[in-house]
Structure 1
Amino acid sequence: MRVLLKRLISVTNIPMQRYAVRLCSSDSQAKAAVKDKPEEHEPKESEKIEVQKKNVVVEKFGQITTLNIDRQPTRNSLDIATLHEMTEAINAFDNDPEAKVLVFNGEGGSFCSGFNMNDIGTVGYHNLKDAAMRLERRPLCDKITIAAVSGYAVAEGFELALSCDLRVIEDTAILGCLGRRFGVPQSLFGARKLTSLIGLSPALDLLITGRLITGIDAHRLGLACKLTSTGTALGEAIKLAKSLVKFPSNAMVMDKMAAINSQLNPNSEESMRDEAIMNSLLGNAIEDMKEGVKKFQAGIGKHGKFYKLTEVELKDWELEETSDEVTIKIKQKEKEDNIKS
């Protein structure tokens, strides 16, 4: 656990004291830990960790939010209470103007094992499905979502990973439609999402047989944007999120919705809703473009660079291209003058 924590902190550059809240064994200890911290060392409001101690732990690091399912004895299965907490957390993220990327994670080494089978027997499948209604939305969030997949991501847990925009998957992770054994259908439009991501034939193979695949198989099929080693999915997902929050978000969300609409929501009410959101973002995207043009003209991002996207002084080698173009034009003009004379 300590090794994993050190990796995560090294990736996210988050001071160690911020994890004190998460490591306390009770809510009263957590409050005491926060209270005892010197006032001058308190993080800014946007950097504070938020803790929900029941089934879901929500943490916010600046513009990045993590939603951690914490039902480890059942490999993070989903009961009605957990689904309600997740709905509340996802809606809060969507409505937070500062938040840009949401990372889904499962505590204790497994992403999510789907609906709790005991609950299906006691409260009924329809009640669970109604509680999971928020997870059926396509896209899951208007903003960017990433799944940090480790351990088991099966049944509705597999569908939750498919619902995210990007997936960072550990090579030893196990994914698949495990509900096939007990006659439980894909409850969150998983069949449609899987088919749109990997194509009809391989999707039918997984859906009909219910066979499990490893993270390596998932990467080969195109489900993983990044394949990583055991114990590193969350850290790599946060690292990916940090690389995305530097981009202007309006155009990124518009392109994401256009891609999803073309596959999942053609000619539907959800598609119309997403088109309205994209139109509302267009004005802000145009303003972002104006700023982007100014940055490019100042030399930022030249030659396809994705780093140092802030104002920097142009280097001599960055001016060479412009210098060459001017020289060529002058030589061409001299040739034309010689021909005339």
Structure 2
Amino acid sequence: MVEYERRGPVAIVTVDRPERRNAVDRETALALRDAWERFDEDEDALVGVLTGAGGTFSAGADLKAMDLEDDPEGYLGFSRLSVSKPTVAAVEGHCVAGGIEMALWCDLRVAARTAEFGCFERRFGVPLVDGGTQRLPRVVGLSRALDLILTGRALDAETAKEWGLVNRLAPEGEALDTAVELAEVIAQFPQETVRTDRAAVYDGLGEPLERGLKIEAWHGSRAMETAREGADRFAGGEGRGGTGVEDPES
């Protein structure tokens, strides 16, 4: 139903219900919540990757079961849950309805070139209640978000990349490996600063600039010992000319 796997510093959470296009019922939602809580508590897991089995990401809520409940963590089990470490979605096939909300919960998204996105629940009058109306405009902008939400249209991976919904494209069948490679790049950096900078971005969203700068300064102050250690390494000759910074798309 939901698998938790470690590949070195990367934790992979897989929804494994291919017979239901990885749609989420109540049992799966609770398992997803448990998996992401486990990830946050796993000290050796530095970056999390969310994916689906069987060549598809997720069709969202299981409308045949229709047994999801409005838990504090969200109908899908984790959409209102906050974790302290970076996350990446690895998308193959359909990422639609609640599936797109699951992908938006992640910080970054990698998609196969054959992937398809959309708010397909529009056809059946099912509302977006797992973050879609709030996260999608923040990621792609108000006009594009409303286009997807109001029309229920399908969006191909290339267009999703142009819109900023997708960060990296991969050949069909390689989204997970590409997402893991991206996660490994993030995992190689000093994690204290990765996490404080990530937190500053989220905590500052929607705030006036003056308030946002104070939030940034507070989070940054928590990583100054790591910064001093890094400055010493740079002074010793490490990282000159940008060495040590990889472009996962190159």
TM-score w.r.t. the length of structure 2 is 0.89
* One-letter code aligned to 2:159: D
Q: In structure 2, do the counterparts of structure 1 residues 129 and 179 end up closer, same or farther at CA, with 3 Å as the change threshold?
A: farther
Could you give the per-residue CA deviations for residues 296-340 of structure 1, whole angstroms, max 9, x where no partner exists?
A: 0111111122259xxxxxxxxxxxxxxxxxxxxxxxxxxxxxxxx
Aligned counterparts of 1:176 and 1:131: Cα–Cα separation in 2: 19
Equivalent residues in 2 for 1:3-14 (5 A)?
Answer: none
- Relative to structure 1, the CA distance from residue 229 to residue 128 in structure 2 (aligned partners, 3 Å threshold; closer, same or farther) is farther
Report the structure number with the largest CA radius of gyration: 1
Q: Which has the higher contact order (CA 8 A, sep 6+)?
A: 2
Per-residue deviation, 1:111? 0.6
Bigger fraction of residues in helix: 1
Among 79, 87, 90, the alignment partner of 1:135 is 79
Aligned counterpart for 1:244 among listed residues 179, 186, 198: 186
2:55 maps to what in 1?
109
Q: Which of 62, 69, 89 is 2:35 aligned to?
A: 89
Question: SS of the counterpart of 2:114?
Answer: coil
- Partner of 1:118, secondary structure, is coil
Unaligned residue ranges in structure 2 (runs of 5+): 209-214
Q: Give per-residue Cα distances to partners, 1:148-179, cap 9 Å, x unaligned.
A: 01101111110110110010111110111011
Alpha carbons 1:250, 1:281 under 8 Å: kept: no
Q: Does the CA contact (< 8 Å) of 2:17 and 2:53 recur in 1?
A: yes
Equivalent residue for 1:302?
240
Q: Larger strand proportion, structure 1 or 2? A: 2
Q: What are the residue-to-residue correspondences of 1:49-198 with 2, within 5 Å?
A: 55-120=1-66, 123=67, 126=70, 131-137=75-81, 140-198=82-140
User: Which of residues 210, 213, 216 is equivalent to 2:158?
Assistant: 216
Q: Report the secondary structure of 2:184's partner residue.
A: helix
Q: Deviations over 1:96-117 (max 9, x none)?
A: 1221100001010001110000
Q: Residue 194 and residue 142 in structure 1: after superposition, are their counterparts in 2 closer, same or farther (change >3 A)?
A: same
Q: Which amino acid aligns with 1:86?
A: L
Matches within 5 A, 1:313-332: none
TM-score by length of 1: 0.66
What percentage of aligned pairs have identical amino acids? 34
Aligned residue for 2:212? none
Judged with a 3 Å threshold, the aligned counterparts in structure 2 of structure 1 residues 70 and 192 are, in CA distance, closer, same or farther, namely: same
Aligned 8 A contact 1:80 1:128 in 2: no
What's the counterpart of residue 43 of structure 1?
Answer: none
Q: By how many angstroms is 1:189 displaced?
A: 1.6
Stretches of structure 1 that go unaligned for 5 or more consecutive residues are 1-54, 268-274, 309-341
1:182-211 deviation digits (Å, cap 9, x = unpaired): 001111121110101111111111110010
Aligned to 1:291: 229
1:280 Cα offset (Å): 7.5
| Pair 154,129 (structure 1): closer, same or farther in 2 beyond 3 Å | farther
Superposition RMSD in Å: 2.5
Q: Which amino acid aligns with 1:182?
A: F
Looking at structure 1, the residues matched to 167 and 70 of structure 2 have their Cα atoms a distance apart, in angstroms, of 33
Q: Is the 8 A contact 2:73 2:80 kept in 1?
A: no
